Amino acid sequence: MNTTTFDPDQLPSCPDELDLLAELVPLQQQAIIELGCGNARLARDLLLRFPACRVIGLEVDAVQQAKNSARPQAGLSLVSAGAEAVPFPDASFDLALMLKSLHHVPMPAMDLALKEIARVLRPGGFLYVSEPIYGGALNEIVRLFNDEGVVRPAAQAALDRALAGGSHWEAVTERRFSQPVSYIDFDDFSQRMLYPSFADHGINDAIVARVRAAFEPHVGPGGASFVRPMHVRLLRRKG
pLDDT tens, residue by residue, 56-83: 999 999 999 999 999 999 999 999 999 9
Q: Which residues of 167-198 are buried (b: 16+ CB within 10 A; e: fewer)?
A: ebbeeeeebebbbeeebeebeebbeebbeeee
Q: Is a pLDDT exceeding 90 seen at residue 181?
A: yes
| Alpha carbon separation from 43 to 1, 5, 63, 202 (Å, rounded) | 33, 34, 18, 31
Confidence band for 9, pLDDT divided at 50, 70 and 90:
confident
| Residues 180-188, mean pLDDT to the nearest whole number | 98
At residue 102, the pLDDT reads 98
What is the pLDDT averaged over residues 135-149? 97
Check pLDDT > 70 for residue 191. yes
Confidence at 8, pLDDT banded by 50, 70, 90? confident
The DSSP secondary-structure symbol of 12 reads: P
Give the whole-angstrom CA distance, residue 69 versus residue 54: 16
What pLDDT is stored for residue 3 in this prediction? 41
Residue of 45, 159, 187 lying closest to 101 (CA atoms): 159
- Side-chain half-sphere CA neighbours of 52 within 13 A: 5
- Give the largest CA-CA distance in the chain: 54
For the segment 213-220, the average pLDDT, to the nearest whole number, is 98
Q: Distances from the Cα of 191 to the Cαs of 101, 178, 188, 196, 230, in angstroms?
A: 20, 23, 5, 8, 23
Q: Torsions phi, psi of 143, nearest 5?
A: -70, -10
63 C-beta neighbours (distance < 10 Å), count: 11
Tell me the average pLDDT across 152-175.
97
Q: Is pTM beyond 0.75 here?
A: yes
Contact predicate 116/186, CB 8 Å: no
Banded model confidence at residue 6, pLDDT cuts 50, 70, 90: low
Domains of the chain in start order, with CATH, are 8-237 (3.40.50.150)
